[in-house]
Chains A and B, each alone.
Chain A
Amino acid sequence: MSQGRAGIRIALAGQPNVGKSTVFNMLTGLNQHVGNWPGKTVERREGHFEHHGEQVHIVDLPGAYCLTAASPEETVTRDFIIHEQPDVVMAVINAASLERNLYLVAELLALPTPVVLGLNMIDVAQQEGFEVEPRVLQAAIGIPVVPMIAAKGQGVHEFIDVALQVAREGAAEPHRPEIRADHRAVLEGLLTLVAPYVPSPYPADWVTLKLLEGDQEVTELMRDQLPPAVWERVNSVLLTHEDAIIAVASGRYDWIRRMTRAALKRPRAGRITRTQRIDAVATHPFLGLLVLAAVLAVIFGLTYSVGGPMQEWIQMHVVEGLAGWLGTALASGPDWLRGLLVDGVLGGVGTMLTFLPILAIFFASMALLEDVGYMARAAYVMDRFMHAIGLHGKSFMPLFLGFGCNVPAIMGARIIESRRARLITILLAPLVPCAARLAVLTVLAQVFFPDSAMLVTWLLTGLPLVVLAVLGVALNRLVIRGEQAAFIMEMPLYHLPNWRTIAILVWQRLLAFLHKAGTVILSVSVIVWALTVLPTGEIETSYMGIIGYWLEPLGRLMGLGWRPLVAILTSFVAKENAVATLGVLYNAGETASALAPALRAELSPAAGLAFLVTQMLFIPCVSTVAVIKQETGSWKWVFVNVGMLALLALLGGIVAFHVASWVL
């Protein structure tokens, strides 16, 4: 094969991180050149060396999982083997991940270049409990297999010996994967049609296989090569057998199973990892929910026990101190300026900022759970729970995204094909308590229920989910019937927390929060303050007072005055405004004093609970509403959603007030 050329040409192939570069570096030493593949940003490494007096040129192909041309690495790998026709392909595979690595081998064997296998990392495989038999694998595939530990230089010499021998003498026909039996006739028929037109150097059977797989590059190549009448026939076959991709892939996976059946022994069932041990409980359908409930209870408990005293300290020493200083400094200044800064800015933004410690602990707890790998499990057990109560279907995945923010939840509904089901999902998504809503709940539960904030927060976090489940089950039975679909979630391994990562995350979130406090929350606070003093300077006769007058009858149903209702209304701009507005409204006309005592003095516990329930069920923020409009393309559905949630919030508040008045 190498006759007529200067030396032997080798292609070094393999999936990423299999030790291919180690082999390349050991073989070439300093005789290597690094550049880029023409027209690609993929690195091209080639070199040369002498082995037993024979000149060898070797090209290190980029790491590729398969040869589908879905990535530049895959394209480069297959184009090089087809067009440059090396004498042999040295495929390095990871013994610890044998099955997946054999997938690439299955694709390499479909090309005419002979392949030799370097079974690398056999030490790692042994450490992980795998037993791989190189000789059995060699007999099964029908190509040379050389065990190696490239990192220690073991087996590399033998690997190149075998490769050069195959390059010189050729190799026996390997046992290649075959397309699933029910599609063999289709493959043969197609091969007969296209073979006369396949341009050199493409192998006709490989081109046929790729056509059936729907490979875009090969399809375009053959569309240009085939006479229109033949292409029409070929295209008709491809359209009829659109599922052939499964048949081709099936052939490869069945081949992998056959190849590894005798050659690979997996770790014994008793050998389970720490992650599996923890997951046996954390992702258990029932125990997992208990774990999640306990984790939430610990987070809320920690948030209040540590953050509560810090919040009071900031209120007392920073905000009130600053308010006193401003009052004195502006004593001779205009009243409106003092009112704006003390009541508007400090009353709104200042009040919000006193809760910074509570938010910091909340953010840190979430970041910690994310970093150690628990968050994905939390979503997973919730998904299983929702499946268990009958609300399943594709709507669930988008809904879960809503725990972070409702915006991606609504956008995620695009994966649902049925318009009706998609619409239902979009309408339900705002009921998933987003992080901002949870943060407001965390803050205000402490204000209304200082002694039982943890329990209240814990229960109210579940409330919108219960409402969602009830609505969802009903809608699932009536509307999304039959649309069951599975989800597969990737679970990260558990690991010890990286405190630096967590600190950076918390810092970024607090910075973003401060930015919002200085922009949206500040603006709304100033507007709310202005509405409380204009035009008369008295809150009762102000524009806000007039709005409050109209809202008062609604508030009475829930034991609330107009001020809390206005606060809920302003949360439409951003959820955090509920707190800032309460700060402005309860300090208006006075020096900034603590919000909590003022609220507790005006509202009974039952009214406080009604306020929190209303806040949790109320319409989402303006960004979410805008996305609902964008995704539904209709104002009608925006109004339906806003109306539905406003009604739910009102009913929820009324029920909570009356039940709590009776119980408490």
Chain B
Amino acid sequence: MILELLKLLAVGSSYTLTSLAEALDVSEALVEQMLTDLERGGYVSTADTSCAGQCAGCPSSGLCALLHGKRIWTVTAKGLQAAR
């Protein structure tokens, strides 16, 4: 099942946890667990959506909240290779 997920991600598109859960016929929570496993193995990585202190004092820094606190995953080269 986790390999199915990796193969799905290797196609290269945008997904939500919901759309992946539907595609794999499992719960979103389980997809999240699979992503955790894949991240542990270096097959996917999570993006740092924070300003990392770079925009301290910027009046617009709060607007980075566009993606703050949301987790975003992407496939690594190792992940793509494993999927193939």
Interface of A with B (CB < 8 Å)? 65-66, 68, 70, 97-100, 103, 214, 243, 245-246, 249-250, 253-254, 256-257, 266, 276, 279, 283, 363, 366-367, 370, 375-376, 378-380, 383-384, 387, 392-394, 397-398, 400-401, 403-405, 407-408, 411-412, 415, 417, 434-436, 439, 484-492, 505, 508-510, 512-513, 515-516, 519, 576, 623, 627
In whole Å, how far is A469's beta carbon from the nearest beta carbon of chain B?
A: 16
Instruction: Report B-chain residues with C-beta under 8 Å of the C-beta of A407.
Output: 51, 54-55
B38-84 residues with Cβ-Cβ distance < 8 A to A are: 38, 40-41, 43-45, 47-52, 54-55, 57-68, 70-77, 80, 82
* Given contacts A99-B26, A397-B72, A404 and B57 within 8 Å (CB-CB): no
Which of chain A's residues have a CB closer than 8 A to the CB of B1? 250, 253-254, 257
For A214, the chain B residues whose CB sits under 8 A away are 40-41
16 A-B pairs within 8 Å (CB atoms) are namely A253-B30, A257-B1, A366-B63, A380-B14, A387-B13, A397-B74, A400-B66, A401-B49, A405-B58, A412-B48, A417-B77, A487-B74, A489-B15, A505-B62, A509-B62, A512-B62
Please, which residue of chain B has its CB at the minimum distance from the CB of A243?
B82
Given A485-B74, A509-B59, A253:B14 Cβ within 8 A: no
Smallest Cβ distance from B38 to chain A, in angstroms? Answer: 8
Given known contacts A103-B30, A488-B72, A246 and B12 CB-to-CB distance under 8 angstroms: no
How far is the CB of B59 from the nearest CB of chain A, in Å?
3
How would you classify the secondary structure of chain B's contact residues: helix, strand, loop or mixed? mixed
Chain A residues with CB below 8 A from B52, complex form: 408, 411
Nearest residue, chain B, Cβ from A437: B60
Q: Name the CB-closest residue of A to B34.
A: A253
In the complex, which residues of chain B have a beta carbon less than 8 angstroms from the beta carbon of A436? 58-60
A-contacting residues, B1-57, CB 8 Å? 1-3, 6, 8-18, 20, 26-27, 29-30, 32-38, 40-41, 43-45, 47-52, 54-55, 57
Contacts of A245 in B (CB 8 A): 37, 40-41
Q: Nearest chain-A residue to B1 (Cβ)?
A: A253
Contact of A250 among B2, B29, B73 (CB under 8 A): B2
State in angstroms the CA–CA spacing of A415 and B37 once bound together: 18
Q: Among the interface residues B20, B61, B63, B80, which one has the most CB atoms of the partner chain A within 10 A?
A: B63
Q: Which of B12, B17, B66 contacts A486 (CB 8 A)?
A: B12
CA distance A516 to B15 in the complex (A): 38
Contact of A487 with B73 at beta-carbon distance under 8 Å, contacts A254-B1, A408-B50, A436-B58 already known: yes
Contact B65 A627 (CB under 8 A): no
For residue B39, which residue of chain A has the nearest CB? A70
Instruction: Tell me which of B2, B63, B72 contacts A435 (CB under 8 A).
Output: B63
Extra contacts besides A100-B29, A489-B70 (10): CB < 8 Å? A100-B33, A243-B41, A363-B63, A376-B70, A408-B52, A484-B12, A486-B13, A488-B16, A512-B62, A515-B57
Q: B67 contacts A516, CB within 8 Å?
A: no
Cβ-neighbour of B17 out of A393, A491, A509 (below 8 A): A491
Nearest 5 CB-CB pairings of A with B: A404-B64, A484-B12, A513-B59, A435-B60, A435-B63
Cα-based distance from A70 to B20 in the complex (angstroms): 25
> Which of B35, B47, B49 is the most central at the interface, judged by chain A CB atoms within 10 Å of its CB?
B47
Least CB distance, A70 to chain B, in whole angstroms: 7
Contact with B18, one of A276, A398, A401 (Cβ below 8 angstroms): A276
Bound together, the chains give a CA A432 to CA B54 distance in angstroms of: 18
Given A404-B66, A488-B9, A627-B54, is A249 in contact with B37 using a C-beta cutoff of 8 Å?
A: yes
Residue of B nearest to A410 (CB): B54
Residues in A whose Cβ lies below 8 Å from that of B71: 489-490
Check A488 against B64 for contact (C-beta < 8 Å): no
Is there contact, CB below 8 Å, between B12 and A249? no
Give the CA-CA distance A484 to B73 in the complex, in Å. 14
Check if A512 sits within 8 Å of B58, measured CB to CB. Answer: yes
User: Which chain A residues lie closer than 8 Å to B27 at the CB level?
Assistant: 97-100, 266
Most buried by A among B9, B35, B37: B37
Evaluate contact between B62 and A486: CB separation under 8 angstroms. no
CB neighbours (8 Å) of A379 from chain B are 66-67
Q: Closest chain B residue to A397 by CB distance?
A: B47
Which of B8, B29, B34, B76: most chain A CB closer than 10 A?
A: B29
Closest-CB distance, A581 to chain B (whole angstroms): 17
